[in-house]
Amino acid sequence: MTPADAAALAGTGVAGVVMVRALMEAANPGAVVREVLAGFAD
């Protein structure tokens, strides 16, 4: 699961995603969260 996968997964009707590794390893976790949330907003 990567932040780029969020929009496709959101389209399936899931309520959310778990992205522990992506957030823990990110230089800017806030930017990762914003990218994922944008995928759910589309």
pLDDT in tens, 18-34: 899 999 999 999 999 99
Instruction: Give SS3 for 39.
Output: helix
Helix/strand/coil percentages in the chain, nearest 5: 65, 0, 35
Domain that holds residue 17: 3-41
Length of the chain: 42
Instruction: Give SS3 for 11.
Output: coil
Tell me what pLDDT residue 16 has: 87
CA atoms within 13 A on the CB side of 37: 6
Structural domains of the chain, count: 1
What is the band of 42 on the pLDDT scale with cuts at 50, 70, 90? low
